[in-house]
Amino acid sequence: MYDGASLSEPSLLQRAVGELRIAVKRFGAETVLDELRQAGCLKARFPRRIVPGWMDAVMLNTGGGVAGGDRLDLAFRVGVGGQVTIAAQAAERFYRALAADAPSRVRTRLMVGAGAALEWLPQETILFNHSALDRRLEVDLAADGRFLGVETIVFGRAAMGETVRQGWLRDLIRVRRGEELLLHDAIRLDGDIAAVLGRPAIGGGASVVATMVYVAPDAGAKLEAVRDALGPAEAGVSVWNGMMVARIVGANSASVRAAVVATLAVLRDARPPPRVWLC
């Protein structure tokens, strides 16, 4: 007779694994695809060009979101003189992680060659209650490479009455130009994240945080225009060593996105935002 015990291993939940690698290069007056590898839940699409000379790439996660234990690896390389904008089809959602789960792991590396430009413009990262995320964005620029990046984190959807009362976040943005480390920006949050963000010296009650990084020779010249574009938003922006960094906080994603879009208009010389941002 059976005694109710099982000698088999406990069932393991299926986890998503995705890999996306894209390389582009300059060909005449245009930027064209050089290499493409897509595996698992990560895919890429290349919509019709909006601006001559610029390639647009759109990332898709066919998994519909990210759960604890999922692993995503992304790498993008821009060859000499190339110009590419990388966006995401939609906001990325990080769902609740079970107690036994490892954190969701996301690794992104961006490599920008001589005289090249890369824009990293994903849409918002939405963290659900009890989510756990370990994410890194590594940017390596040639001495004269240009970079514009935006990362927006939403701690629970305000319109849905969500609050992140328990969560775990390790988020790192690291930017190098040549052999020089320009930026090491690390966020470490765990426990009652809403309570932590409520402290005046941390978030002042904000539930949305956006970080913008712009590395280019004209970073200093655009400082005042960016400050004007931010207007009444809760934000700060500084420039040093050819790099601009802005931080924007707010109580909802709509107000923060409006500030980000206004700033992008200045930094992108009034080029329209990626079409997926308008969907």
In whole angstroms, give the CA distance from residue 193 to residue 167: 6
Q: Residue 9: inside a domain, yes or no? A: no
Element (H, E) at 59: strand 55-61
| 141 within 8 A of 194, measured Cβ to Cβ | no
pLDDT of the chain, 279 residues: tens digit per residue: 444 544 444 456 678 899 999 999 999 999 999 999 999 999 999 999 989 999 999 999 998 899 999 999 999 999 999 999 999 999 999 999 988 889 999 999 999 999 999 999 999 999 999 999 999 999 999 999 999 999 999 998 877 778 888 999 999 999 999 989 999 999 999 999 999 999 998 889 899 999 999 999 999 999 999 999 999 999 999 999 999 999 999 999 999 999 999 999 999 998 999 999 987
Give the number of other Cβ atoms within 10 Å of residue 14's Cβ: 8
**């995705």: which residue's tokens?**
18
Q: Residue 56: inside a domain, yes or no? A: yes
Helices (H), the chain: 193-197, 223-230, 253-267
Q: Residue 251: inside a domain, yes or no? A: yes
In whole angstroms, give the CA distance from residue 279 to residue 258: 15
User: Which residues, other chains included, contact 218 with Cβ-Cβ below 8 Å and sequence gap of 6+?
Assistant: none
pLDDT of residue 261: 96
Number of independent structural domains in the chain:
1
Q: Residue 230: inside a domain, yes or no? A: yes
CA distances from 141 to 25, 63, 83, 187 (A): 15, 31, 13, 22
CA distances from 145 to 25, 81, 111 (A): 14, 9, 9
Bridge partners (DSSP) of residue 49 are none
In whole angstroms, give the CA distance from residue 84 to residue 101: 36
pLDDT tens-digit map of 12-56 = 667 889 999 999 999 999 999 999 999 999 999 999 998 999 999
Strand bridging mode 55-61 / 83-88: parallel
Q: Which amino acid is at 155?
A: F
Element (H, E) at 244: strand 243-250
Structural domain harbouring 105 = 17-278
pLDDT of residue 1: 41
pLDDT of residue 11: 52
